Amino acid sequence: MSIRARGPRYVVQGSAQLRGSVRISGAKNAALAMMCAALLTDEDVVLTNVPEITDVESLGELLSSLGATVEHQGRGRLRINAAGVHTYEAPTELITENRASFQVLGPLLARHGFASSAPPGGDVIGQRPIDVHLSGFEAMGARVSREGERFVARAPGGPGSLRGARVFMDYPSVSGTQNVMMAAVLAREHSTVVNAATEPEVQELAHLLNAMGARIEGIGTQMLEIDGVTSLHGATARVMPDRIEAGTFAIAAAMTGGEVDIEDAPLPVMDGLLAKLRAAGAAITDGEGFLRIERTSDLRAVSFQALPYPGLATDLHAPMAALLTQANGVSIIHERVFDNRMLYVSELRKMGAEIVSTGSSAIVSGPTMLHGATVRALDVRAGAAVLLAALVAQGTTIIDEISHLDRGYEHLDEKLRALGAEIERT
């Protein structure tokens, strides 16, 4: 046993072939942003289809620590009420738990005129700056300063005094767009966000905000037009299914040569992945919210780039790389979103993968017979990649540091077991 091992681990028997059906959970990145939106009103925001993952738990704790009520009302249903918010300073130990927690800043600043936070946590997948968030707030008149390790943002004239502005985003950052959008909905007059992220999770947040009384147009485009309002009201919304979880199961089905029905798959936002899976040799049948993935012939090498939406999602880069270790030929992968997405490479190599990375690119040669090993889930998606590899490897794989997987995948081992995988959490 590795002396480094701490916390739960997965023990996975290889040579699996996944068969059966799996239901997709609510989307992590939509749910987290939607939870932050509850800070914009005194009324209840009720979210359904919220995934049971540790990122949701830790953000819930953060909202509670600010004074909000966060109530679990049965499976997947969360009621948040921010009437009791009494502090606008996010505790450092909670903010560093995940990336999305920094999104409390925009709502607090817009509504209460003041917000302070340490830089956010999350996966170590690159530099992950926050300049886009902060310059958006500054464009709306906020003064942002660094006090020790914390960022402090003040609206020019106290609560409700942000001014609508034309905000240009240097990069179409997902959480940056969500943060700036949440500030702009309560700013005076009109804002235009230029070069906004178009990810489905950004769109989901915008729809929730409109249901709360905001006036956002251009949802899903790179130009958001936002008319500020003076207050928002409560709303109830169902979180969209997680396209990354659906994609991970689709890749698993193709990789193990099985046949899996994926229920509640958000098909209209999965083109990037499905095109590549088809090119790699998977047979895909789709209907409304339903996806069947099967593979009866050998996998073929495919090259791809991970891009902002609607390109193939960077969160599926590592799982796709795992699949390509089983494909005939040489695949080339270019990562265009993050500068350090390659943490999975060393772990897959421990299992016998022929994969090399240079900068933000990886070259995979296949097919290789993978073998069991002791590996680490170095971030949530790198963890998914080694888990997929473990399913097809010969022998037993032990995956350490699976707390990363718990952050983003709901009941992952249970779902895989239901599809026939031999996986134990120990």
Interface ranges with ligand UD1 (CB under 6 A):
29, 32, 99-100, 126-133, 171, 173-176, 197, 199, 314-315, 337-338
Nearer to ligand UD1, 99 or 207 (CB): 99
Q: What is the DSSP string of 213-229?
A: T-EEESTTSSEEEEE--
Burial 64-76 (b: 16+ CB within 10 A, else e): ebbebebeeeeeb
Residue 267 exposure: Cα atoms within 13 Å on the Cβ side: 14
Least distance to ligand UD1 from the beta carbon of 248, Å?
A: 13
> Which pair of structure tokens corresponds to residue 402?
């699976």
Are 311 and 281 in contact, with CB atoms under 8 Å apart? no
> Which pair of structure tokens corresponds to residue 166?
């034309």
> Which pair of structure tokens corresponds to residue 186?
């309560």
Least distance to ligand UD1 from the beta carbon of 29, Å?
A: 3
Q: Which residues contact 33 (CB under 8 A, 6 or more apart)?
A: 100, 103, 175, 178, 201, 202, 204, 205
Give CA separation, 32 vs 204, 291, 319, in Å.
11, 26, 22
Least distance to ligand UD1 from the beta carbon of 76, Å?
A: 19
Nearer to ligand UD1, 81 or 98 (CB): 98
Least distance to ligand UD1 from the beta carbon of 200, Å?
A: 10
Nearer to ligand UD1, 129 or 158 (CB): 129
Q: Round to whole Å and give the CA distance between 276 and 272.
A: 7
Least distance to ligand UD1 from the beta carbon of 230, Å?
A: 28
Nearer to ligand UD1, 56 or 423 (CB): 56
Q: Round to whole Å and give the CA distance between 426 and 176.
A: 37
Nearer to ligand UD1, 261 or 315 (CB): 315
Nearer to ligand UD1, 27 or 423 (CB): 27
Least distance to ligand UD1 from the beta carbon of 374, Å?
A: 26
